[in-house]
Amino acid sequence: MAFSKIASGGVDGGVGDSLRPNANPIIINGDFGIWQRGTTVNNTNGAPYIADRWRNQAVWGSTAPTAAWTISRSTDVPTGQGFVYSTKYDNTTAQSSLTSDTGYSIEQRFEGYQLQWMKKGTASAEATTLAFWVKSNKTGTYVVELYDVDNSRHCSQSYTISSSGTWEKKVLNFPADTTGAFGNDNGHSMKIRMWLAAGSAYTGGTLATSWASNTANNAAVGQVNLADNTSNEFFLTGVQWEIGTFTSSTLPPFQHESYGDNLTRCLRYYYRANGRCGFGAGSGFVQDGAVKGYIYHTMPVAPRTEMSFSLSATGGAISIDGNAGDDVQSIGATHSDSFPYKDYEFNFVTDGTSITDKCGMGIRINASHYIEGSAEL
């Protein structure tokens, strides 16, 4: 990936220059513009994605947290910044006292290929700056943690929400780390974890404001408990990550992408073919006592790794050639080409009989249903 100098004013040259990938922000979907999975999800102790590339993580060890959230797309955004959407956390069941090893966060995960610009683990390692817009009625201290998965190292910085119900821009500086290089591969190498609540197992030490070997109780020291009241809400948008150390006055402007460019980068990790669309062509026959349709489909972009696929439902949701008598019951198997994993053969198992020894057929996805593929980290 090529890099160019981008000044804080948005033109080449000048004081406070930042290295930035040509045309591509480092954060994917930092403006929360892409929501392939839908626009709302509920979570108690899982880790669902809703806005593309953003994982809503219930953090827990031996005891699952019990708070409940509705996480949704919101049109509440800071004025005059060019944003259309934010992500909103709405607490629907409170947990006023967190057990020690529980918490909640919103994360973006990175593969090693995305991070070589950090030069981590070398004498030339880069310092970075994370900036974002945030709003909550729950004022106080919040923590953002960079977690190096490859080397079990971390670094955290805190920020303060000062005014209830007011959009505020936060700028956090993270030092360079000369210890522990990232693998140059498509594996999970790092996560940015934005804490929303954390039990004492993550808050009982001293905040790790310099890179260090992972010590859980230094991860989120001082973090407020956003889960303590059902009136609590949290909004986030405009997340950007820059190479270099910046202040609010020298930070480069948020790099807005077109919808198409943003979606293309998201498709590397998740793909959904929605209702009322076709899904490839192929042939059908009886095999192993079941009527099967073999369908060929090409992904719009090369995924991170071979995707795993699932159906939204069976029993009329997805059919062969739109024939309700040939409802798809399962994906028996998928076979992809080798890298770059774009071309797939799907073995769809049906409950019908009409596709026996049939060529030139296709899959029809009915309204409100989908076939999805995931290569998430």
Q: Kindly provide the residue ranges of all beta strands, DSSP E only, lying in 117-229, ordered along the sequence.
A: 128-136, 140-148, 153-161, 168-174, 188-198, 212-213
Q: Would you tell me how many other CB atoms lie within 10 Å of the CB of residue 155?
A: 22
The average pLDDT across 183-206 equals 98
**pLDDT tens profile 81-125:** 999 999 999 999 999 999 999 999 999 999 999 999 999 999 999
Residue with tokens 């809703």: 50
**pLDDT tens profile 173-188:** 999 999 999 999 999 9
Average pLDDT across the chain, whole number:
90
Q: 302 - beta bridge partners?
A: none
pLDDT band at 22 (very low <50, low <70, confident <90, very high): low
**pLDDT tens profile 326-373:** 788 899 878 888 889 999 988 888 887 776 666 667 788 888 899 999
Rounded to two decimals, the pTM is 0.92
pLDDT band at 128 (very low <50, low <70, confident <90, very high): very high
Percentage above 70 pLDDT, the chain: 88
The full set of domains in the chain, from first to last, is 3-266 (2.60.120.260), 270-374 (no CATH)
More confident residue, 347 or 130: 130
pLDDT band at 12 (very low <50, low <70, confident <90, very high): very low
**pLDDT tens profile 31-79:** 999 999 999 999 999 999 999 999 999 999 999 999 999 999 999 999 9
With beta carbons less than 8 A apart as the criterion, state whether 121 and 138 touch. Answer: no
Q: Indicate the helix (H) or strand (E) that contains 262.
A: helix 259-266
Residue with tokens 């190498």: 189
With beta carbons less than 8 A apart as the criterion, state whether 130 and 152 touch. Answer: no
Q: Which of 152, 53, 58 has the alpha carbon at shortest distance from 109?
A: 53
- pLDDT for 223: 98
